[in-house]
C-alpha cells in the first residue's frame, strides 16, 4: 500500500479515504501479481506492462476504469448493480456497497484478454 499512501493521504474525507483504501487493498490481496503505480493522478494496476484497472475519486463517487471492452462486456451486470457508467468508467457512490464479485470479474477478464498484450492501452 506504500505506493498509494501519498494519494490516500490527500483524501480529506475519512470515510472516502477508508473506502478507497479498502478497495485498493482488496485488489492487492486478491491479485498480488499486479504492479501498482500512480499515473494520471490515480491509483492504477498493470500487468506485464499493460493497463488492467484504475481508480479515482470525486465528491460523490469512486470511479473505476477497466477500459471500454470490459465495460461493454459486463454492461448487463453493471445495469443490475445500479452503478452509473460510461464507455470507459463506472461509478460507485460512496454510500453504496462495492460489488467485489463484479470488480474481480473485470480484473480477471482484463488479465485473460490482455495476456501477452504489449501495448499499455487497447488499440
DSSP 8-state symbol, 96: S
Q: Look at residue 2 and tell me whether its pLDDT is greater than 90.
A: no
Q: What is the model's pTM?
A: 0.95
Beta bridge partners, 50, equal 47
Q: 97, 66 in Cβ contact below 8 A?
A: no
Cell representation of residue 95: 454510500
Mean residue pLDDT of the chain comes to 96
Q: Collapsing DSSP states into helix, strand and coil, what is residue 1?
A: coil
Under 8 Å CB-to-CB from 52, ≥6 apart: which residues?
Answer: 34, 45, 46, 66, 107, 110, 111, 114
Under 8 Å CB-to-CB from 116, ≥6 apart: which residues?
Answer: none
Q: Collapsing DSSP states into helix, strand and coil, what is residue 44?
A: strand
Using alpha carbons, select from 98, 118, 109 the residue that is nearest to residue 53. Answer: 109
Q: What span, in angstroms and rounded, lies between the C-alpha atoms of 67 and 88?
A: 5
Q: Look at residue 117 and tell me whether its pLDDT is greater than 80.
A: yes
**pLDDT confidence of 118, banded at 50, 70, 90?**
confident
Q: What is the pLDDT of residue 108?
A: 98
Amino acid at each position: 500500500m506504500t505506493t498509494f499512501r501519498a494519494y490516500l493521504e490527500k483524501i480529506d474525507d475519512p470515510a472516502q479515504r477508508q473506502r478507497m483504501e479498502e478497495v485498493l487493498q482488496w485488489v492487492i490481496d486478491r491479485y498480488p501479481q499486479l504492479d501498482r503505480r500512480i499515473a494520471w493522478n490515480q491509483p492504477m494496476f498493470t500487468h506485464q506492462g499493460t493497463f488492467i484497472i484504475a481508480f479515482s475519486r470525486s465528491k460523490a463517487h469512486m470511479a473505476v476504469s477497466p477500459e471500454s471492452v470490459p465495460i461493454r462486456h459486463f454492461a448487463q451486470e453493471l445495469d443490475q448493480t445500479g452503478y452509473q457508467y460510461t464507455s470507459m468508467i463506472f461509478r460507485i457512490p460512496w454510500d453504496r456497497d462495492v460489488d467485489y464479485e463484479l470488480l474481480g470479474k473485470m480484473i480477471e477478464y482484463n488479465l485473460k484478454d490482455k495476456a501477452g498484450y504489449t501495448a499499455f492501452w487497447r488499440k
